[in-house]
Chain A
Amino acid sequence: MKRIPIILTVISLALLSSCDRSESKLAQDNTPQSALATKAVNTAVGAVDGSILLYFNAEPTEQDLAAIAGAKSIAKVFPSVPGKEEMEKRFGLDKWYEVFLEEGTDITTAAEDAALLPSVERVEFNTMAVRPEDTTVEGLPEYVAPGPETKGVYDIFNDPRFNEQWGYINTGNKSICNNSYAGGDINVKDVWTQLTTGDPSIIVAVIDEGVKYTHPDLVANMWTNTKEIPGNGIDDDNNGYIDDIHGYNYVEGFDGVINWTDSRNSGHGTHTAGTIAAVNNNGIGVCGIAGGDGSGNGVKLMSCQIFVGKTGTSIAGCGRAIKYAADNGASLISCSFGYHAGSFLSDGAYKNSAGAEYDALLYFEATKNNAAVDGGVIIFASGNDNTDYAGYPGALNNVISVSSYGPDFMPAYYTNYGPGCNISAPGGDMMVVGSNRLAAGVLSTVISERSNGNDYDFFQGTSMACPHVTGVAALGLAYALKLGKHFTLDEFKTMIVSSAKDIDSRMNGTKTLADGKVLQLYNYRHKMGSGGIDAWELMMKIEGIPSIIVSTGSEQWVDLSTYFGTSSVSLTYRGVEIPDATRQSLGLEGDPYIQYGRLFIHPTKIGSGKVVIHAVGGGDEVGSDKAIGGMAISQEVSIVSRNFKAENGGWL
């Protein structure tokens, strides 16, 4: 398979060599250095040799190319797809070009030349994507499968290793770790038994290492591009890619073929895919969160490969992978990659450095690929730097960034936390104290070719936490479709981030690791996003949120956990919006406000109304171009005022 290059023109070396930088007629008053300083959005550190990215405000010409030292050809970064042209223009994807350079060309020199061109608005070095640092733990005790569990707990599906997936159902089994915490999980059991297990019309793109699409526990849930005829060397569906059947490989040197056999591969993408949608109830292996019930109703997995092991693709490749997901039907992208925490400290800094990737993310968000939500949901790992802020792009205020906890429902020793982290999920922690520490990781599908013949193994990392949230979000979409519900993208993201169970109650004292190191848990308080993702709570929000009953004629504090999860007292609130109609209907005495996570309200009249509460999903401030921070979330709260109310909200 080959990505179809959209070569505008190829300039001969002779032409390029004849181009004298000092003779540029386009910007004679500028020095190349000052022009680059104005237009470059990042530095050459970590960039690939051989190409630079340019954002043109006009169609590039042969003269433009000739003015750039070492340039040999130019191509659009993003293949244009018929029918998507308007969207591509709206997000400027049609203006990004990749200029390919002769071997040995200094990319800074080429960038300086490009910056002198009036038609070039931005210059971007083509930085390599980074996978979160591996969190391998050496010298683990020999693994022992957890002992028999309470009868009935795991009777839902017949997958034999289901009971080792504590992230789904955590019974507090001490054979996993000494401090295992019952309920320290995603609370998905009742969702599976009562509400939904998936929907094959929902496509989830795994932007990661390649997914082993022949894996026995994944194959039935792989997305298949039915418009493409395998192996005929033709772009049958005219989407810009030849023979892309289950996705596409963007790593240089692989011709688009999804690869998992290269010795550099770790199985990372296959592992994250399994957490999202390994096939359930098929009598083998493990379960996936949105993997269906064995009747073919799991969500579908699309593989957008940007890594072969730690060898990644560039910003351009990542951007193309994200656009591919949007153009080919994905409603969610699960992204267990990003820059190290601290590489950028504001949304603006990231956008300026990875403009092409950011534009692709916006394009994905704006693409509606299902009837339930009018946009794409982006979920990233927060990073494994054990730093008190998230890595980008996950830290962006419009995407969901996931921190990691272990079976003790405490922060994993490696996880990032704090600003930019929006929610937490099981990611495993093999440094917990216990005799069976491997079991404290996350069990999922892996590549037998790279794992001594095993199809399953334990990994740990925010990379593993991220697909837990993706899987829950996929279940949410499936359930919304089932109910015929529709949400805006912001509404759906708010529902995800506010569907959290309280984790701060675990942030007391210390957590001692197997090597004797100690985590001071107060450092993590209010910093694991809004709390632990809770699948049941998300489904309840999708069904609809009930009204709150308040007492007419008295001042009172109203608990907001129904709306913002059991971590509601820990969230930072930005204000309450009160429509005049509500003010009048309830006869509000003064303005409602929020303190210590509760709503203060004083209705003087029997009636009903709605207010909108604005909060921060993770962190104290909403992220901005100037500072890293959380996601802005808003919930409409319905209030019924009666002369009396029961403490538990009952009608009588």
Chain B
Amino acid sequence: MLIAAAAVCAVSCKDPVPPEPDLSEKIIGEWQLKSIATKATLGGQTVEVYLSFETGGTFTLYQMLGQGRYHSYKGNWALADGILTGTYSTGKAWGSTYTVDITDSTLTLTSSIGGEVDTYAKTTIPENIKKEAYAK
């Protein structure tokens, strides 16, 4: 009797398929800028950007433009209806809002201003960058 019950259960009690995480969950993690697609090239300047979207709606941005060390910026983000918005810890808004697309380990942010498309890859931000970045 017990065995029969178990057999029935094995075929009928199938685990429910977990729902596809929404963008707000998928964006959590650390990302590295891999490409900048704009209407024109940004030229020969070094542009190194890492993003960390954290649970609780906070983020940390590490960037090195041109020369020098990484600078870090903190603040808050929100994602609703596929639109990513944010403010820096100074209270100032980001320079743009973005539409978000996430496939596998690629994050694509498309600016609402001018259509700049920045593509990020899932990564682990090196500890030395986190440690040595100059907080802005």
| A-to-B contact residues, CB < 8 Å | 194, 540, 543-547, 549, 552, 585, 605-609, 638, 640, 642-652
Chain B nearest Cβ from A609, distance in angstroms: 7
Docked complex Cα distance between A540 and B94 (Å) = 25
Chain A nearest Cβ from B33, distance in angstroms: 8
Chain B nearest Cβ from A476, distance in angstroms: 15
Q: A546–B113 contact, CB under 8 A? A: no
Q: Of B38, B61, B64, B134, which is within 8 A of A652 by CB?
A: B61
- Judged by a CB distance under 8 angstroms, whether B116 is at the interface is yes
Q: B68–A546 contact, CB under 8 A? A: yes
Q: B88–A643 contact, CB under 8 A? A: no
| B-to-A contact residues, CB < 8 Å | 33, 38-45, 47, 49, 51, 61, 63-69, 71, 73, 86, 88, 90, 92-96, 98, 111, 113-116, 132, 134, 136
Across the A-B interface, the 6 shortest Cβ-Cβ residue pairs: A544-B67, A643-B114, A608-B43, A547-B66, A544-B68, A646-B95
Chain B nearest Cβ from A28, distance in angstroms: 65
Find chain B residues with CB under 8 A from A607 CB: 40-43
Knowing A545-B68, A609-B43, say if A644 contacts B61 (CB, 8 Å). no
Known: A640-B43, A643-B115. 18 other contacts (CB 8 A): A544-B67, A544-B69, A546-B65, A605-B40, A606-B40, A607-B41, A607-B42, A608-B42, A609-B43, A640-B47, A640-B65, A642-B42, A644-B96, A644-B113, A644-B116, A645-B95, A652-B86, A652-B98
Find chain B residues with CB under 8 A from A650 CB: 61, 63, 73, 88, 94-95, 136
Q: Of B39, B68, B90, which is within 8 A of A648 by CB?
A: B90
Chain B nearest Cβ from A284, distance in angstroms: 32
Q: Chain A: which residue is nearest B70 at the CB level?
A: A546
Find chain B residues with CB under 8 A from A544 CB: 66-69
* 24 contacts across the A-B interface (CB closer than 8 A): A540-B69, A543-B69, A545-B67, A545-B68, A547-B45, A549-B65, A606-B40, A606-B114, A608-B42, A608-B43, A608-B45, A638-B66, A642-B42, A642-B114, A643-B38, A643-B113, A648-B92, A648-B136, A650-B88, A650-B94, A650-B95, A652-B61, A652-B95, A652-B98
Instruction: Tell me if A's interface is mostly helix, strand, loop or mixed.
Output: loop
Chain A nearest Cβ from B109, distance in angstroms: 8
Q: Of B44, B67, B88, which is within 8 A of A546 by CB?
A: B67
Find chain A residues with CB under 8 A from B66 CB: 544-547, 638, 640
Chain B nearest Cβ from A247, distance in angstroms: 37
Chain B nearest Cβ from A382, distance in angstroms: 31
Q: Of A543, A552, A645, A649, which is within 8 A of B68 by CB?
A: A543
Chain B nearest Cβ from A206, distance in angstroms: 32
Knowing A606-B42, A607-B40, say if A644 contacts B111 (CB, 8 Å). yes
Find chain A residues with CB under 8 A from B45 CB: 547, 608, 638, 640
Q: A648–B65 contact, CB under 8 A? A: no
Q: Chain A: which residue is nearest B93 at the CB level?
A: A646
Interface contact tally, CB-CB below 8 A: 108
Find chain B residues with CB under 8 A from A652 CB: 51, 61, 73, 86, 94-96, 98
Docked complex Cα distance between A649 and B68 (Å) = 15
Q: Of A540, A642, A647, A651, which is within 8 A of B63 by CB?
A: A651
Find chain A residues with CB under 8 A from B86 CB: 652
Find chain B residues with CB under 8 A from A649 CB: 71, 136
Q: Chain A: which residue is nearest B113 at the CB level?
A: A644
Find chain A residues with CB under 8 A from B113 CB: 643-644
Chain B nearest Cβ from A529, distance in angstroms: 24
Find chain B residues with CB under 8 A from A608 CB: 42-45
Docked complex Cα distance between A93 and B115 (Å) = 64
Q: Of A543, A642, A643, A646, which is within 8 A of B94 by CB?
A: A646
Chain B nearest Cβ from A219, distance in angstroms: 35
* Most chain A CB atoms below 10 A, which of B93, B94, B115, B134: B94
Docked complex Cα distance between A585 and B63 (Å) = 23
Find chain A residues with CB under 8 A from B98 CB: 652
Find chain B residues with CB under 8 A from A194 CB: 132
Knowing A607-B40, A643-B111, say if A648 contacts B88 (CB, 8 Å). yes
* Most chain B CB atoms below 10 A, which of A605, A644, A650, A652: A652
Q: Chain A: which residue is nearest B68 at the CB level?
A: A544
Q: Chain A: which residue is nearest B86 at the CB level?
A: A652
Find chain A residues with CB under 8 A from B33 CB: 651
Docked complex Cα distance between A650 and B90 (Å) = 11
Q: Chain A: which residue is nearest B116 at the CB level?
A: A643
Chain B nearest Cβ from A421, distance in angstroms: 29
Chain A nearest Cβ from B128, distance in angstroms: 12
Q: Chain B: which residue is nearest A581 at the CB level?
A: B43
Q: A585–B43 contact, CB under 8 A? A: yes
Docked complex Cα distance between A650 and B47 (Å) = 12
Q: B68–A540 contact, CB under 8 A? A: yes
Q: Chain B: which residue is nearest A553 at the CB level?
A: B114
Find chain B residues with CB under 8 A from A540 CB: 68-69, 134
Find chain B residues with CB under 8 A from A609 CB: 43
Q: Chain B: which residue is nearest A552 at the CB level?
A: B114
Q: Chain B: which residue is nearest A541 at the CB level?
A: B68
Find chain B residues with CB under 8 A from A651 CB: 33, 47, 49, 61, 63, 65
Q: Chain B: which residue is nearest A539 at the CB level?
A: B69
Find chain A residues with CB under 8 A from B96 CB: 643-644, 652
Q: Of A545, A640, A644, which is within 8 A of B42 by CB?
A: A640
Q: B92–A606 contact, CB under 8 A? A: no
Docked complex Cα distance between A547 and B66 (Å) = 5
Docked complex Cα distance between A606 and B44 (Å) = 12
Find chain A residues with CB under 8 A from B116 CB: 642-644
Q: Chain A: which residue is nearest B38 at the CB level?
A: A606
Find chain A residues with CB under 8 A from B73 CB: 648, 650, 652
Find chain A residues with CB under 8 A from B93 CB: 646
Chain B nearest Cβ from A195, distance in angstroms: 10
Q: A644–B95 contact, CB under 8 A? A: yes
Docked complex Cα distance between A497 and B88 (Å) = 32
Chain A nearest Cβ from B72, distance in angstroms: 10
Docked complex Cα distance between A138 and B42 (Å) = 64
Docked complex Cα distance between A646 and B51 (Å) = 16
Q: Chain B: which residue is nearest A562 at the CB level?
A: B68
Find chain A residues with CB under 8 A from B42 CB: 606-608, 640, 642
* Most chain A CB atoms below 10 A, which of B43, B92, B96, B116: B43
Docked complex Cα distance between A545 and B115 (Å) = 28
Docked complex Cα distance between A609 and B42 (Å) = 9
Chain A nearest Cβ from B113, distance in angstroms: 4
Q: Chain A: which residue is nearest B62 at the CB level?
A: A651
Chain B nearest Cβ from A641, distance in angstroms: 8
Docked complex Cα distance between A638 and B69 (Å) = 15
Find chain A residues with CB under 8 A from B132 CB: 194
Docked complex Cα distance between A642 and B86 (Å) = 18
Chain A nearest Cβ from B134, distance in angstroms: 7
Find chain B residues with CB under 8 A from A605 CB: 40
